């Protein structure tokens, strides 16, 4: 018996940057945020004032001396979702970023690393900040390949490329301990394994390895004729069998059960496919398909799947499939399953009987961007921009010798 494989294809990419709309999150009050930051600063200063001052001084000097480079890792395939175009506008229009190096020609990790190795900074120092703008999601990883024209990057593929020596870390003259690699991709901060592998692939595991950061939230860019902004966007999910959509009340109840502490008008969000104003919640649907096949040496070895009971017993016996589905957080019962007996021909020409199952679940995604009050113009809220060290919104990973990992989750 041979298991051909599982292919879990998440079409969440569309939702990674939803149509460039501003929203406001009432949970993040501007005054509260300032208060938290003040308390944190005072505590640090009081306990170790000299150490704190030294850190601030080093960072300021580093920001003046170190160069920043930004990679826009794709082109938009759908005009209704101009993620990369809006990101490029942000880096070209924003006063704090328009003088950075902006690279739009790379499409793979290897191309990023080749550029960094072959284009040293003007002052001869290692890079200070490396921004990578890319589609991503917390389940499937990053929407770019390891090598040019390669398949989409996965943790297994990247781990193998590192192990085989196909990807070699950059020298300390290019990236070092003071380098920060910030990946702006939706939900990637929830994939700690991918961040660890990226840190190892780019900077190795020595004492000078760089820090890799990424957002746990969705990332969104939006521009007008005279300005551009970047937003972090909250997201919540409910699941159901494709083709068997429950009522709005049922979906709202599922969301309430999954997120009991969230202050979201679920029924209101379910009534809207677009936000009405800044800070408004709305929803979108997408599907998650799963394919799985098992071959057998002889038809007599195949189990009976002619009944519903037989089908489900066979399905539940597929331990690898069940484990893969479990990692998504979606229950088996929330997939619509189709079974069939078939044949599979291997590369050597041998054909064996097989059982193939196709599953599909639909996901309701509720979205709401995070903003703070704009005191100059209350009708135009500003993006909520948390500190990169804030573990509620970002994960930060540095891989060191001995496989030790510093991770802020």
The DSSP result for 153-189, as a single string, is P-HHHHHHHHHTTSS-PPPTTTS-TT-EEEEE-TTGG
- Amino acid 174: pLDDT: 96
pLDDT over 70 (residue 11): no
- Amino acid 223: pLDDT: 82
CB 233 within 8 A of CB 368: yes
- Amino acid 329: pLDDT: 85
User: Domain for residue 72, yes or no?
Assistant: yes
- Amino acid 139: pLDDT: 63
What's the pLDDT band for 285 if we cut at 50, 70, 90? confident
User: Domain for residue 308, yes or no?
Assistant: no
Q: What is the mean pLDDT of residues 87-95?
A: 89
Tell me how far apart the alpha carbons of residues 315 and 320 are, in angstroms, rounded to a whole number: 10
* Long-range pairs, 237-240, Cβ under 8 A, ≥24: 237/363, 237/364, 237/365, 237/366, 238/363, 238/364, 238/366, 239/330, 239/331, 239/334, 239/361, 239/362, 239/363, 239/364, 240/334, 240/361, 240/362, 240/364
Q: How many CB atoms are located within 10 Å of the residue 335 CB?
A: 23
Tell me how far apart the alpha carbons of residues 173 and 181 are, in angstroms, rounded to a whole number: 15
User: Domain for residue 237, yes or no?
Assistant: no
User: Domain for residue 143, yes or no?
Assistant: yes
Tell me how far apart the alpha carbons of residues 14 and 17 are, in angstroms, rounded to a whole number: 7
Tell me how far apart the alpha carbons of residues 12 and 117 are, in angstroms, rounded to a whole number: 33
How does strand 211-215 pair with strand 180-184?
A: parallel
What's the pLDDT band for 364 if we cut at 50, 70, 90? very high
Tell me how far apart the alpha carbons of residues 408 and 297 are, in angstroms, rounded to a whole number: 49
Tell me how far apart the alpha carbons of residues 383 and 378 are, in angstroms, rounded to a whole number: 13
Domain count, the chain: 1
Domain encompassing residue 208: 45-230+383-408
Closest C-alpha to 239, from 80, 6, 12 = 12
Q: Tell me how far the alpha carbon of residue 273 is from its chain's centroid.
A: 22
User: Domain for residue 121, yes or no?
Assistant: yes
pLDDT over 90 (residue 91): yes
- Amino acid 40: pLDDT: 27
User: Domain for residue 351, yes or no?
Assistant: no
Tell me how far apart the alpha carbons of residues 389 and 409 are, in angstroms, rounded to a whole number: 10
User: Domain for residue 6, yes or no?
Assistant: no
In 91-242 the beta strands, taken as DSSP E runs, fall at 101-103, 129-133, 136-137, 141-142, 180-184, 211-215, 218-223, 228-241
Tell me the C-alpha to C-alpha distance, in Å, between residue 230 and each of 33, 90, 345, 361: 18, 7, 49, 31
pLDDT over 90 (residue 84): yes
> In the 8-state DSSP scheme, what is residue 391?
T
Tell me how far apart the alpha carbons of residues 11 and 8 are, in angstroms, rounded to a whole number: 10
Tell me the C-alpha to C-alpha distance, in Å, between residue 247 and each of 242, 275, 368: 13, 21, 22
What does the pLDDT look like over 206-231, one tens digit per residue?
999 999 999 999 898 888 778 888 98
CB 19 within 8 A of CB 307: no
User: Domain for residue 329, yes or no?
Assistant: no
Tell me how far apart the alpha carbons of residues 16 and 394 are, in angstroms, rounded to a whole number: 16
| pLDDT-wise least confident of 75-79, 126-130, 292-296 | 75-79
User: Where do the H-state alpha helices sit in 9-102?
Assistant: 30-47, 49-65, 83-93
What does the pLDDT look like over 118-160, one tens digit per residue?
999 999 999 999 999 999 876 667 899 999 999 999 898 999 9
Closest C-alpha to 220, from 184, 191, 190 = 184
CB 328 within 8 A of CB 288: yes
Angle, alpha carbons 279-284-287 (nearest 5°): 150
């Amino acid at each position: 018996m041979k298991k051909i494989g599982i292919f879990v294809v998440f079409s969440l990419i569309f939702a990674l940057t939803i149509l460039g709309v501003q929203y406001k999150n009432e949970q993040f009050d501007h005054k509260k945020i300032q208060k938290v930051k003040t308390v944190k600063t005072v505590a640090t200063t009081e306990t170790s004032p000299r150490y704190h001052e030294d850190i601030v001084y080093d960072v300021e000097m580093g920001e003046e001396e170190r160069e920043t480079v930004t990679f826009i890792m794709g082109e938009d395939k759908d005009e209704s979702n101009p993620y990369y175009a809006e990101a490029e506008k942000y880096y070209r229009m924003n006063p704090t970023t328009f003088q950075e190096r902006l690279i739009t020609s790379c499409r793979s990790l290897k191309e990023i690393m080749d550029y960094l190795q072959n284009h040293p900074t003007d002052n001869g120092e290692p890079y200070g900040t490396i921004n990578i703008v890319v589609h991503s999601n917390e389940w499937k990883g990053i929407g770019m390949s390891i090598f040019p024209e390669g398949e989409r990057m996965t943790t297994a593929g990247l781990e193998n490329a590192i192990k085989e020596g196909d990807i070699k870390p950059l020298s300390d003259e290019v990236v070092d301990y003071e380098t920060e690699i910030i990946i702006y991709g939706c939900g990637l901060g929830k994939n700690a394994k991918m961040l660890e592998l990226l840190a190892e692939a780019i900077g190795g595991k020595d004492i000078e390895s760089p820090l890799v950061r990424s957002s746990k939230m969705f990332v969104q860019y939006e521009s007008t004729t005279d300005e551009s902004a970047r937003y972090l966007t909250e997201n919540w999910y409910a699941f159901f069998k494709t083709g068997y959509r429950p009522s709005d009340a049922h979906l709202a109840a599922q969301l309430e059960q999954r997120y009991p502490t969230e202050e979201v008008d679920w029924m209101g969000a379910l009534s809207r496919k677009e936000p009405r104003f800044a800070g408004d919640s709305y929803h979108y649907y997408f599907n998650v398909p799963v394919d799985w096949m098992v071959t057998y040496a002889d038809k007599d070895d195949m189990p009976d799947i002619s009944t519903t009971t037989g089908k489900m017993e066979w399905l539940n016996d597929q331990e690898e499939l069940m484990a893969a589905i479990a990692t998504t957080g979606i229950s088996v019962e929330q997939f619509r399953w189709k079974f069939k007996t078939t044949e599979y021909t291997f590369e050597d020409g041998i054909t064996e009987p097989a059982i193939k199952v196709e599953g599909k679940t639909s996901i309701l995604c509720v979205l709401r961007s995070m903003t703070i009050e704009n005191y100059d113009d209350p009708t135009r809220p500003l993006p909520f921009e948390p500190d990169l060290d804030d573990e509620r919104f970002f994960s930060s990973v540095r891989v060191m010798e001995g496989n030790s990992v510093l991770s802020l989750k």
